[in-house]
Structure formats: C-alpha cells, structure tokens
Structure 1
C-alpha cells in the first residue's frame, strides 16, 4: 500500500555517484518542501560521506531506508535501479527514477508493474521535461501542433579525446553509449510533441554513434543522431521542429538541480492527487521499448516496427 505523504514528505536517496552528489543530494537537501531522510549506496563509505555533506544519515540496510521514507529517489545504473525500484514500490514508497528505467524491456516492465500494483506514484527524471525553459517550450509546441518533422543531434564528448569527465568511469554508459544515455532526452521531447513512435530505422556510426529515423503517430517523422564520443569541439545538444507555423528550436537550459527539484514537486503532486505524471514509470517503460527496438534495428540494418 502506498504511503501517505505528510506536510513534509521524507525522501530517501539511493546512489552515491557523481550524478547523485551533484544533482540529487543538493536538490533534495535544499528543497524546502521535503526532508532528505537518508542515503544508501553500494559503497557504505561513500554513503556516509554524501549523507554527512547533505545533513542527513547513511543507511547500510536499504530496507531500513525504505521504512524511514515516504518516497525514494534513485541515482543508480539502470539495471541496478530497476530491482531496487521494485522493492521500494513493494514497501509502499513512491519512486523518483532516473532514465533509462532499465536497459531491458523485462526490467522496465517489472518496475511499471510494481508501481501499479502498489498504487505508488512514479516520475522518471527526464531533464528536459522538468527544466523550466524546456518544459514550457515542450508544452507550447505540443499545443501549437502542425509539426511534420523533428531533427535532433545530441553530441556528447564524454568519451571524446581529452575528456576528463568523471561520468566517463560509468560502466553502463561505456557499454550502452549515447543511444541509451542521451536518447531518452530526445525521445522525451519528440513523444509528447509528435506522438508515439510507430517505426524505426537505425544505423550505427563512428564509435557509439547511432543515427535514427522515427515515424510518429501524428504522421510526422523525426531524426536523431546520438553519441557520447564526439570531439569536444563538436559537442552540442540541439533539437528543431518544422511545421505549418515555421520552425522552433529547443531553448537552452541551465543545470539539473532546479529541474530535479521540479521533478520532486511532480512526484509529490502525483502522490497526493493520485493523478499519474506524464513522465511516470509507464513512460519510462515505453522509452526502454523504443530504445531496445532502435538498438536491434541498428544491429540488423533495417527498419523495424516499434508498435
């Protein structure tokens, strides 16, 4: 049974890596409407350090953190996140998930099923859907309609020559590449504006690069080039829509802490109202389904139905 939220919901944090330390922990610790109830990590010493820096306590036992929390935020590799999210939901905790929810359809389906069975609220933190400038832009373009084409390229330089990013040490990003790391960002914009994906053509490029051509339920098509291995001088994230009203370019956004705070607000609202957020676990499942299909299409070198 889902936990009832009090005046100041208690939210626990699972994860101690750079993403948790730079975004999740400061957003939760600095949020006036919630209490950071504790930190759990696979490395107890890292959990203790992050908890101390965030003014809360570390937990060695994740189930104890579930018991002390109304909700949990997860900042873990996707296939570590998924089974823990299932356990959290079964414990009655509302869940704030990272993208992708899982890198297997079965894993993402288990999360969505557990959330539904427990009646808990869920939000998947797709940054562009919660950062104020981009969230507002997405709403405006969805209302405008008339789009026939979307073009996106997300050229990250995480694995480019000379990169010193601490995220480059992430094993799952090294294995799955830009398709799975930045692909959810692009899809999180295209799907609300252009409709669900019905067919995919995908081909691999240099390194981890993938080129996608998507067909949407609205009749529009879109393209996306995704990589984490671009040269630093070529790094860029851009998305443009073309339609009857002309063209519209996705605005820039600053940082992720504020966006994560908005995702926290969305989770609290969904838990209190019982109304699912648009970026819930079911949406996360759909992202995993599309990315799995795209990965298979790239390997097979042909168009694949995404239905």
Structure 2
C-alpha cells in the first residue's frame, strides 16, 4: 500500500511521518502541506516527494494518513474518499456532525477502509484490557479523568487555533469516549457543566444502563495532570493500566489495522463510522454545555 501524508504540523512531523517511514508493510509515498517549506522538510528527512497539491498526491497513492486540524481534515478526507483512497484519520474526524457524516458517507459509498487514530486503542496492554472489560455486562458506573496541561505548560500544541477555540471537550473527549463506548455501550443522554479554564465535566447515560462521569481539561496545572479511568461493577473496581506504547508505535498499529481492513477484513472498531458517533456525542455535549440542559441523542 502506498500511503501519502497530508499535514506538516508537529504531530505530522513527530508521529505520522516516522511511523509511515518505519512501517515495513507500506510505502511512504510523499507529503503535502499548506506550508511548502514544511512539506519539503519532512520529505527530505524521509527521502520522499513533497507534493504541491492534494490532487497530485491523491493520484499517486492508495491511502492517506491525515494529520491536519479537524476542520481541514474533514474537507481533504472527504475529497480523498471520493477519489477512492483509504483513510487513516486523526481524532476528532471533524468539528461538526454534517462534516463527519460527509466523510463517513464517502467512505461507505466507495467501499473503503478507514481507521481513526484514537491513540490508546492501538498497542500496549490497554488493548487486551479493554477487550476484557467490554466482554463483561455487569458495569454499574465509570469515571474518567483526562486532565492535560497543554495550555499551562510548554507544549507545541498550545498555539493550535482549533484547540484554543474548542478546548478539551473536542481534543480529549474523543480519547475518553473511545475507551468508554466499547465497554458501556452507546450514549443516550448527556449533561455538561464548565470548570476552570477549558475544563468540562460530563455525565453520560449509556444504552446498557450504566452511567459515566468525565473530567476533561487542557488547563490543568502540570503537577496535577494525568489520565485515569475507573470502572465499577458487580465484580468490583478495575482501572486502566498505566502504561501504553509510544505514539509512533501506536500509529503503526493503526496502519496495520488499515491494511487488514483494506485487505478484505472486518472494519476496525475505530473506523470512520465510530468517529462520526463520537462527533455526534461531542456536539450534544457542547449543546448541553452552552444551553445548560440535558441533551438526548
């Protein structure tokens, strides 16, 4: 499979490009970005071509790995799917439900493979742990604290306009939902309340009858930052394992998933249809947050 990279920001530079270049099962075909000098830098580092147009790259590849801001990803992903290219996307797949649905519809119409890179869903001991918890049906409630310090520490992502605008709900919320939904089931109802900075507190009602509470923030003091997921049920309490794998390795696992799906295997659980559902839940949470009311999906 020939895969092209769309995007040249820090995530593309430090994760996508080295993951594609180091994967033995694919050919890293080239890179396009809105800043030609950044595309040229990544291309030179990995011995690939820097393209001056999206269409030029799409003409030469079988799939694209997208490392763009969500609003830009929505446009190029739909465009790539319309051209018959498989998709490896970042989360969230879009910032609006119509944009996310546009991608999902294009993928379905083309019979294409898609994988959304929810980091903790790929590689490491957390993957079998999640499978084990999802096989149980006795969960009563869950708590997820995903507290980051992007806006309170020296982070290359702090200047990201979409993160500044949409905050932790849209940046960290997808990660939390990617872990909770497989275990507790789909979300039927959302309640939300604001906290300090961009902090958001959510209470979710799940189709299986359980509830979950989430605390999401990018403005946590660095000393207080961290990720914790706790599930409680008839058998007691279990917690998400502390250790995952580096993002580059995790993205290579996502590439493996894309190869399997494109080769005729079952769609991956983190495909674009799942990405669409995550966007629908986030949009409902945003509505609950701004409207001060519980939202039913």
Q: Report the Cα distance in structure 2 between the residues aligned to 1:274 and 1:169, rounded to whole angstroms.
A: 39
Counterpart CA distance in 2 for 1:266 and 1:212 is: 31
The normalised TM-score by structure 1 is 0.95
Is residue 280 of structure 1 aligned with residue 271 of structure 2? yes
2:13 matches 1:21: yes
Deviation at 1:302, TM superposition (A): 1.8
CA contact (8 A) 1:150 1:221 kept: yes
Partner of 2:34: 42
Q: How many angstroms apart in 2 are the aligned matches of 1:133 and 1:76?
A: 28
Give the deviation of 1:134 after TM superposition. Answer: 1.5
Structure 2 counterpart SS, 1:69: coil
Tell me, yes or no, if structure 1 residue 11 matches structure 2 residue 3.
yes
TM-score scaled by length of structure 2: 0.98
More deviation in 250-259 or 227-236? 250-259
Question: How much does 1:128 deviate?
Answer: 1.2
Verify the 8 A CA contact 2:124 2:245 in the aligned structure 1: no
* Root-mean-square deviation (Å): 0.9
1:135 shift after superposition: 1.4
Deviation at 1:274, TM superposition (A): 4.9
Equivalent in the alignment of 1:206: 196
Structure 2, unmatched stretches of 5+, are none
* 1:136-147 mapped onto 2 (5 Å cutoff): 136-147=128-139
Equivalent residue number for residue 121 of structure 2: 129
Instruction: Give the match for residue 246 of structure 1.
Output: 236
Aligned to 1:226: 216
Q: Kindly state the Cα deviation for residue 255 of structure 1 after the two structures are TM-superposed.
A: 2.0
Structure 1: stretches of 5+ with no match in the other structure: 1-8
- From 65, 70, 73, the counterpart of 2:62: 70
Q: Does the 8 Å CA contact 2:167/2:218 hold for their aligned counterparts?
A: yes
Residue 246 of structure 2 corresponds to: 255
Partner of 1:270: 261
CA distance in 2, matches of 1:201, 1:63: 42
**Match for residue 108 of structure 2?**
116
Once the two structures are superposed, residues 265-291 of structure 1 have per-residue CA deviations (whole angstroms, 9 ceiling, x without a partner) of 001100111521111111111000000
Deviation at 1:263, TM superposition (A): 0.5
Give the equivalent residue in structure 2 for 1:86: 78
User: Which residue does 2:157 correspond to in 1?
Assistant: 167
Tell me, in whole angstroms, the C-alpha distance in 2 between the residues paired with 1:175 and 1:132. 32
Moved more, 52-61 or 95-104: 52-61
CA distance in 2, matches of 1:55, 1:157: 35
Is 2:158 aligned against 1:177? no
Distance across 2 between alignment mates of 1:136 and 1:166 = 31
CA displacement, residues 20-58 of structure 1 (integer Å, 9 cap, x when unaligned):
111111111000111100000010110000111122111
Alpha-carbon shift at residue 18 of structure 1 (Å)? 0.6
